[in-house]
Amino acid sequence: MASEEMEQLVRREYKQGFVTDIESDTVPPGLDESVIAFISQKKDEPQWMLEWRLEAYRQWLKMTPPSWAHLEYPEIDYQAISYFSAPKKPEDRPQSLDEVDPKLLETYEKLGIPLHERAALAGVAVDAVFDSVSVTTTFKEKLAEAGVIFCSISEAIREYPELVRQYLGTVVPQADNFFAALNSAVFTDGSFVYVPEGVTCPMELSTYFRINAANTGQFERTLIICDKKAQVSYLEGCTAPMRDENQLHAAVVELVALEDAYIKYSTVQNWYPGDEDGKGGIYNFVTKRGDCRGDRSRISWTQVETGSAITWKYPSCMLRGKESIGEFYSVAVTNGRQQADTGTKMVHIGENTRSTIVAKGIAAGHSDQAYRGLVKIGPRAKGARNYTQCDSLLIGDKCGAHTFPYQEIGNSSATVEHEATTSKIADDQLFYCRARGIDEEDAVSMIVNGFCKDVFQELPMEFAVEAEALLNVTLEGSVG
Amino acid sequence: MLEVKDLHVTVEDKAILKGLDLTVNAGEVHAIMGPNGAGKSTLSAVIAGKEGYEVTQGTILFEGQDVLEMEIEERARAGLLLGFQYPIEIPGVKNIYLLKAALNAQREARGEGEIPAPEFMKLVREKSAQMQMDPSFLQRAVNEGFSGGEKKRNEILQMLVLEPKLAMLDEIDSGLDIDAMKIVAQGVNSLRSAGRAILLVTHYQRLLNHIEPDRVHVLVDGRIVKSGDKELALELEARGYEWVLEESVA
């Protein structure tokens, strides 16, 4: 197909670009210790939490942003960002959906998330984060019956300080990296999950959150702990309204799996990617790490990344427990001027640990993406095994895909396999479908969805359907 | 139904078809035969709309419509369907999904609604049984890991489900053993009807023992140099293509 045709059709407007007009209680841009104290105070936090934040802040001041990623973006002015924004009157939290600001509900409607219907139909408890404060939490009672704690991290800090203190920062330390340190200093909200010993969480836990107030950085902190023999499936999905300023998003997600525990963490990410020149999109610098602390524990990351102007994200697993399992299934789609440097780290520490990596990258338009994966086998990880497969699919001739696999093998009994392919979306496949009467756009989405199937089948059912739809929207007009 | 007039086609500046004329009426089966490199596959590819072929002269009309002005998918929706010599593999896309998407795209173009799921399942089961294909084929990725014979049977299965007005089958017999050939031929024969035409592109006469053509055309060096009935195919089988060429030059 002709590239100018493609060029023309690659341009599409972000369908979920709109701003909900709810007054925010925002601090002026800038960051110093007084801003951190303000945040901590706003959140009614105990003294230890404030000190923890300040420690992180002081370390952050000594750090520099990472420069090794295959990304290009202007330097970020951290003093131009406002670090706190919450919907007005946080003390008057709604007790049910009826009390929720109708404008917020409208926002969810536009996003195709009919909250109440979805919750009722799918049996999903939704902890919706709107800007930085949890506005509504459903199904809490059912979860409480099972002994599962699912609440905002702020609430957890107040209600379950001993659990938070025990685990916060034990997977991603305060000074782990530049963005994690910043997050540790200024995080405003996020989710907390604790599943007690022997409990299988009775429903999939889901947080839909979006960035709303203009020019406000979003710093989510999520902590999920699965006690011995416990299981949980957690879904994270997000979209954001259209705006002009580049927005920084630096979340931290920590997962802890004790003996025989299983955490499945699925993400569908659809943040604003910017206009056709790449202006205005979200900068997504995320640190996600799971710790298979107990023997036979298992952590599985599944992600579908379609949005953001820049994505810097490597969900990782520390496989400490014997026979523990780490998995990473990823589809990353870039279009327009998007850049993504994403992948995973599997660190094998315990004996007979296993990991699987399946990464699918799809690049269209002028986008550029890299898969960066580290498989590290420690000296004590006898019999460790890794299988890595990464495939890239290019649509058109102005995009790029790169693979950077790193392997550090410290044990001769380990088995590490790596397979990688890069293919262009084949003209003969397109012709075959079109010669059956299927129009080109449908044919592309069919072929691309087929390419991603190994990953989609790892997603929970209702999420898989959404992911497919999202993929189609993202690639809309990527070919003529 | 199909009217090709004075068709000239070049591929990368090389002339392949040099003034081809062909008329196919509804209800007829035509066979295009000829030596390698004569332009047989080019003809069906150009009619289907494959890229990379430049039509420098001539016209193709299908039921009075100018085919060359139509998009690939529009041609298929109008009832022009190409069976591939080398069917394409599409990993991760279920065979049944492609069939359903194609059928619904064609129905939509005809102003019909989507086919109800039970009706579709019944149709597809019936047709795959006819092609002696196990239902598990429907759940496999399109052509992926199929043997040569399975791919060809799958092409005919698509024809049976999509019911084109003009079915063009490019070397549908290549790579088939005799049993598979019989199954494929039986499928093609069941497509024969008063309202439908079939265009067979083939190198060998043996397919025509199973699918009896109404007309046989010999394509040599970009032109149809001789046409006749099924006896012509037998003569070609016995004598080769040389004499036709000599006759046409003379």
- Count up the domains in chain A and report the number: 1
Confidence (pLDDT) at A53: 96
Tokens of B214: 């109404």
Nearest 5°: the CA angle A163, A210, A151 is 20
Residues in chain A with CB shorter than 8 Å from the CB of B97 are 446
Chain A contact present for B91, CB below 8 A? yes
**Is A469 within a domain?**
no
Interface contact B76-A454, CB threshold 8 A: no
**Is A373 within a domain?**
yes
CA–CA separation, A70 and A471 (whole Å): 23
Nearest CA in chain B to A429: B88
For residues A30-54, give the mean pLDDT: 91
How many contacts does A have with B, using Cβ atoms within 8 A?
79
* pLDDT higher at B80 or A82: B80
Confidence (pLDDT) at A427: 80
* pLDDT higher at A248 or A273: A248
**Is A462 within a domain?**
no
Most confident stretch, A106-120, A386-400, A463-477, B180-194: B180-194
Question: How far does A426 lie from chain B, in Å, by closest CA?
Answer: 10
Residues of A engaging B, defined by a Cβ cutoff of 8 Å: 1, 426-429, 431-440, 442, 446-447, 449-454
For residues A248-265, give the mean pLDDT: 95
CA–CA separation, A112 and A130 (whole Å): 15
Cβ atoms of B90 and B143 within 8 Å: the answer is yes
Confidence (pLDDT) at A24: 53
Does the structure show a pLDDT above 80 at A124? Answer: no
CA distances A156 to A36, A151, A223, A264, A467, Å, are: 19, 7, 10, 21, 30
CA distances B196 to A167, A371, B192, B246, Å, are: 72, 52, 6, 35
Nearest 5°: the CA angle A20, A24, A26 is 135
| Lookup result for tokens 């089988």 | B237
Chain A contact present for B82, CB below 8 A? yes
Confidence (pLDDT) at A444: 86
Residues in chain A with CB shorter than 8 Å from the CB of B106 are 437
List, in sequence order, every residue forming a beta bridge with B18; answer none if it has no partner: B8
Confidence (pLDDT) at B15: 93
Does the structure show a pLDDT above 80 at A9? Answer: no
Does the structure show a pLDDT above 50 at B175? Answer: yes
Confidence (pLDDT) at B58: 96
For residues B184-203, give the mean pLDDT: 94
| Parallel, antiparallel or unpaired: strands A385-394 and A415-424 | parallel
Residues in chain B with CB shorter than 8 Å from the CB of A453 are 91-92
Residues in chain B with CB shorter than 8 Å from the CB of A479 are none
| Lookup result for tokens 């950077």 | A404
pTM > 0.90: yes or no? no
Closest CA to B107 of B69, B83, B99, B49: B99
CA–CA separation, B89 and B250 (whole Å): 46
* pLDDT higher at A370 or B200: B200
Which tens digits make up the pLDDT trace of A246-256? Answer: 578 889 999 99
Does the structure show a pLDDT above 90 at A475? Answer: no
Chain A contact present for B117, CB below 8 A? no
Poorest-pLDDT segment among A114-128, A229-243, A320-334? A114-128
Poorest-pLDDT segment among A264-273, A352-361, A427-436, B233-242? A264-273
Does the structure show a pLDDT above 50 at A12? Answer: no
DSSP tag of A17: -
**Is A88 within a domain?**
yes
For residues A34-63, give the mean pLDDT: 92
Poorest-pLDDT segment among A83-97, A125-139, B29-43? A125-139
Residue of B74, B93, B168 for testing the chain A interface, max A β-carbons within 10 Å: B93
Question: How far does B160 lie from chain A, in Å, by closest CA?
Answer: 12
Confidence (pLDDT) at A359: 92
Interface contact B90-A452, CB threshold 8 A: no
ipTM of the complex: 0.94
Q: What are phi and psi of A219, to 5 degrees?
A: -125, 90
**Is A3 within a domain?**
no
Nearest CA in chain A to B107: A437
Q: How confident is the model at residue B174 (pLDDT cuts 50, 70, 90)?
A: confident
Tokens of A479: 């070919």
Q: How confident is the model at residue A126 (pLDDT cuts 50, 70, 90)?
A: very low
Confidence (pLDDT) at B32: 95
Q: How confident is the model at residue A85 (pLDDT cuts 50, 70, 90)?
A: low
* pLDDT higher at A333 or A230: A230
Q: Which domain holds residue A43?
A: 26-66+77-426
Interface contact B92-A451, CB threshold 8 A: yes
Does the structure show a pLDDT above 70 at A350? Answer: yes
> Percent of chain B at pLDDT above 90?
77
Q: Residues in chain B, how many?
A: 250
Confidence (pLDDT) at A102: 57
Which tens digits make up the pLDDT trace of A200-221? Answer: 998 888 764 334 433 345 788 9
**Is A372 within a domain?**
yes
CA–CA separation, A233 and B18 (whole Å): 65
Q: Which burial class, exposed, middle or buried, applies to B214 when counting CB atoms under 10 A from its CB (0-12, 13-18, 19+)?
A: middle
Confidence (pLDDT) at A473: 64
For residues A471-480, give the mean pLDDT: 63
Does the structure show a pLDDT above 70 at B133? Answer: yes
Chain A contact present for B70, CB below 8 A? no
Average pLDDT of chain A to the nearest whole number: 79
**Is A92 within a domain?**
yes
Does the structure show a pLDDT above 80 at B14? Answer: yes
Interface contact A426-B88, CB threshold 8 A: yes
Nearest to A438 among B75, B88, B102 (CB): B102
Confidence (pLDDT) at A54: 95
Interface contact A437-B93, CB threshold 8 A: no
Confidence (pLDDT) at A478: 63
> Percent of chain A at pLDDT above 70?
75
Q: How confident is the model at residue B55 (pLDDT cuts 50, 70, 90)?
A: very high
CA–CA separation, A131 and A305 (whole Å): 20
Does the structure show a pLDDT above 90 at A49? Answer: yes
Nearest to B76 among A437, A446, A453 (CB): A437
Does the structure show a pLDDT above 90 at B106? Answer: yes
Q: How confident is the model at residue B183 (pLDDT cuts 50, 70, 90)?
A: very high
Does the structure show a pLDDT above 80 at A274? Answer: no
Which tens digits make up the pLDDT trace of A366-388? Answer: 888 888 899 999 999 999 999 99
**Is A6 within a domain?**
no
3-state secondary structure A287-345: EEEEEECCCCCEEEEEEEECCCCEEEECCEEEECCCCCEEEEEEEEEECCCCEEEEEEE
Residue of A427, A436, A444, A479 for testing the chain B interface, max B β-carbons within 10 Å: A436
Question: How far does B222 lie from chain A, in Å, by closest CA?
Answer: 24
Confidence (pLDDT) at A139: 64
